[in-house]
Structure 1
Amino acid sequence: MFRYLMSRFAGMLAVMLIVAVLVFLLTRLAPGDPAALMLGDQATAEDVARLRAQYGLDQPLPLQFVYWLGEVLQGNLGQSIFLQQPVTAALAERAEPTFFLTLFSVAIASLIGIPCGVVSAVWRGRALDQAFTGVAMLGASIPSFWFGLILIQFFSVKLGWFPVAGYGDPDVPLAERLWHLVLPACVLGILNSALIIRFTRASMLDVLGEDYVRTARAMGHAERVVVLRHALRNALIPIITVIGLTAALLIGGAVVTETVFGLPGVGNLVVSAVLRRDYPVIQGALLAIAAVYVLINLLIDLLYRVADPRVRF
């Protein structure tokens, strides 16, 4: 196990280095000058040159990259050009809504997707299977922004049960802030459950035809025991994979939903930074998202052993 973890950490460092190079190059190749955007149309060439020198944008690209990478290795992601605060502080302010939104969304998607996929596989070809399959296809086809607007119109505007948008002030209790996440979490959870339903159904169908499942039925075990203990447990590896990847994608991919509900999340921060050419924020945020992504992949691999003791690293 120790040797496996060391090799994985070495691979993760290599991936993060590649991500750092790509992020740095792509931000510099994008059109637009952050200094000119920050100062506006009335700024003179001398003002723009002075601001570029202040943030080191006038240095050669290799020198900029070496300096930035050295700061990253010391835990410093840089200073935001537009927010005028450290990038780590900006990410920390936006991390809470994104973290809880991802957590609640994955929980809702799993609570919907796994039971529906199991029932769909057990009742293969029947009306219930057709209904759940249709729901999965519908969920994969509905745009998240449209679904979010529908929920806002009904549950927020008409019924008044939930806030229309925002995340609440930092001074309000955490429970009140989390109440703002119910509708966006339902949007992402319901739509992402479609993929989990399909994967769970396919994995269960592969397992239900195995000899040990037929043997368990022949030994007189109850159908519930056969499905949950013998079939579902052996079908968990693909399900864990798709749930983990869903969580990883939601960390930085819920931009549309965050925009519809006015949530100050990491996705909104990255979009704003791209529009402003705020290089330090773009680089720091994407690097942090990539780090979370590789850590989630490591956690998925470790959970394989929990789900199936036969797995060897």
Structure 2
Amino acid sequence: MLRYIFQRFIGMIVVMFLVVTIVFIIVRVTPGDPAAVMLGPEATAADIAQLRTALGLDRSILVQYVYFIGQLLQGDLGRSIFLDQPVLTALAQRAEPTFFLTIFSILIASVIAIPIGVYAAYRRGSIFDQAATALAMLAASIPSFWLGLILMQVFAVRFGIFPVSGYGGPDTTLGERLYHLVLPAFALGIVSSALIMRFTRASMLDVLGDDYIRTARAKGVVERSVVLKHAFKNALIPIITVVGLTAAVLISGAVVTETVFGLPGVGNLVVSAVLRRDYPVIQGALLIIAGLYVLINFAIDMLYLVVDPRVRY
């Protein structure tokens, strides 16, 4: 087991090193002078030269890379040009909406998809199974921003049940802020549930046909116990994988949804940074999101140890 954990940890470090290197190269090979792009067409040559010196762009690529790695090891992601504050601070200030939106969305997707997927596999070929598969395909083809606009029109504009947009003011309580996330969370959760449901159904179908399931039924084990205790437990590996990957995708995929609902999250910050050519913020956001991807994958690998004893041995 320790060898398994060590291998996964080393793999995580290697992947993060590659991600850091790729992000560094992408930003440096962008067409044009990054300093000139950030300052705009009205900038003077002196202003551009000053910014290039401040960003270290006047040094060699190797020196820039070593300096970049050193900054990362110190937790320094650079300084935003337009916000005039450290990138890490800017991202931390906008992390709360994105964090809660991701958590609520994955909970909604799991609550919808996993029970439906399990029952659809158990009733394979039935009307329920066919209807669930059709609805999953429909949900997978719906853009989250379009569904968000529909939910906004119905539940916010017409019935006035939920806020149209925003995240509340500075003095707003946490409960009221979370209330603003109901519609965007459902918009993301419903779309994400399609993939989870299909993986759950496929994984359950593979397990329900195994010999030990037939043996359990032959011994007279209660059908509910056969499905939930024997089959579902052994089908968890693919389900955990797809839920974890969906959570990682939601972190980076909430950009459009946050923009539609006017949420001051990381996605909205990235959109603003792209429009302003604020390269330090874009670079920092890429590194944070990639790091979260790697950490979620590592957490999934650790959950395998809990779910499947075969991994431990």
* TM-score bracket for this pair, using the shorter chain length: over 0.9
Local SS of the residue matching 1:310: helix
Take 1:55 and 1:264, find their aligned partners in 2: how far apart are those partners? 27
| 1:13 Cα deviation from its structure 2 partner | 1.6
Aligned to 2:257: 257
- Higher mean alpha-carbon deviation, 5-14 vs 96-105, is at 5-14
Q: Does 1:43 align with 2:46?
A: no
The answer on whether the counterparts of 2:38 and 2:278 sit within 8 Å (CA) in structure 1 is no
Aligned to 1:18: 18
Q: How does 1:51-62 map to 2 (within 5 A)?
A: 51-62=51-62
The answer on whether the counterparts of 2:12 and 2:298 sit within 8 Å (CA) in structure 1 is no
Give runs of ≥4 in structure 1 deviating > 6 Å: none
Local SS of the residue matching 1:81: coil
Q: Does 1:215 align with 2:215?
A: yes
Aligned to 1:168: 168
Take 1:38 and 1:206, find their aligned partners in 2: how far apart are those partners? 54
- Higher mean alpha-carbon deviation, 87-96 vs 166-175, is at 166-175
Gapped regions of structure 1 (runs ≥ 5):
none
Take 2:99 and 2:245, find their aligned partners in 1: how far apart are those partners? 15
TM superposition score normalised by structure 2: 0.95
Take 1:68 and 1:170, find their aligned partners in 2: how far apart are those partners? 35
Aligned to 1:193: 193
The one-letter code of the counterpart of 1:229 is K
| 1:114 Cα deviation from its structure 2 partner | 0.5
Take 1:53 and 1:258, find their aligned partners in 2: how far apart are those partners? 35
Q: How does 1:146-185 map to 2 (within 5 A)?
A: 146-185=146-185
Take 2:131 and 2:152, find their aligned partners in 1: how far apart are those partners? 26
The answer on whether the counterparts of 2:38 and 2:277 sit within 8 Å (CA) in structure 1 is no
- The structure-2 alpha-carbon separation of the partners of 1:120 and 1:216, relative to structure 1 and needing over 3 Å to count, comes to same
The answer on whether the counterparts of 1:34 and 1:278 sit within 8 Å (CA) in structure 2 is no
Take 1:2 and 1:123, find their aligned partners in 2: how far apart are those partners? 40
Take 1:34 and 1:81, find their aligned partners in 2: how far apart are those partners? 12
Identical aligned residues as a percent: 69
| 1:37 Cα deviation from its structure 2 partner | 4.2
Aligned to 1:237: 237
1:159-204 Cα offsets, whole Å, 9 max, x none, are 1111111111233111111111111110111111000111011111
Paired residues, what number? 313
| 1:292 Cα deviation from its structure 2 partner | 1.2
The one-letter code of the counterpart of 1:259 is T
Aligned to 1:131: 131
State the superposition RMSD in angstroms: 1.6
- Higher mean alpha-carbon deviation, 28-37 vs 259-268, is at 28-37
Q: Does 1:110 align with 2:117?
A: no
| 1:128 Cα deviation from its structure 2 partner | 0.4
The answer on whether the counterparts of 2:5 and 2:302 sit within 8 Å (CA) in structure 1 is no
Take 1:5 and 1:218, find their aligned partners in 2: how far apart are those partners? 39
- Higher mean alpha-carbon deviation, 243-252 vs 60-69, is at 60-69
- The structure-2 alpha-carbon separation of the partners of 1:135 and 1:27, relative to structure 1 and needing over 3 Å to count, comes to same
The one-letter code of the counterpart of 2:279 is Y
The one-letter code of the counterpart of 2:133 is T
| 1:157 Cα deviation from its structure 2 partner | 0.3
TM superposition score normalised by structure 1: 0.95
| 1:3 Cα deviation from its structure 2 partner | 3.5
The answer on whether the counterparts of 1:19 and 1:287 sit within 8 Å (CA) in structure 2 is yes
| 1:42 Cα deviation from its structure 2 partner | 2.8
- The structure-2 alpha-carbon separation of the partners of 1:257 and 1:106, relative to structure 1 and needing over 3 Å to count, comes to same
The answer on whether the counterparts of 1:121 and 1:201 sit within 8 Å (CA) in structure 2 is yes
Take 2:207 and 2:5, find their aligned partners in 1: how far apart are those partners? 30
| 1:80 Cα deviation from its structure 2 partner | 1.1
1:241-285 Cα offsets, whole Å, 9 max, x none, are 000000111111211111111112222222322332322212221
Take 2:307 and 2:5, find their aligned partners in 1: how far apart are those partners? 18
The answer on whether the counterparts of 1:33 and 1:277 sit within 8 Å (CA) in structure 2 is no
- Higher mean alpha-carbon deviation, 42-51 vs 13-22, is at 42-51
Take 1:9 and 1:209, find their aligned partners in 2: how far apart are those partners? 35
- The structure-2 alpha-carbon separation of the partners of 1:120 and 1:22, relative to structure 1 and needing over 3 Å to count, comes to same
The answer on whether the counterparts of 1:34 and 1:276 sit within 8 Å (CA) in structure 2 is no
Take 1:161 and 1:129, find their aligned partners in 2: how far apart are those partners? 33
- Higher mean alpha-carbon deviation, 59-68 vs 146-155, is at 59-68
| 1:291 Cα deviation from its structure 2 partner | 1.4
The answer on whether the counterparts of 1:20 and 1:283 sit within 8 Å (CA) in structure 2 is no
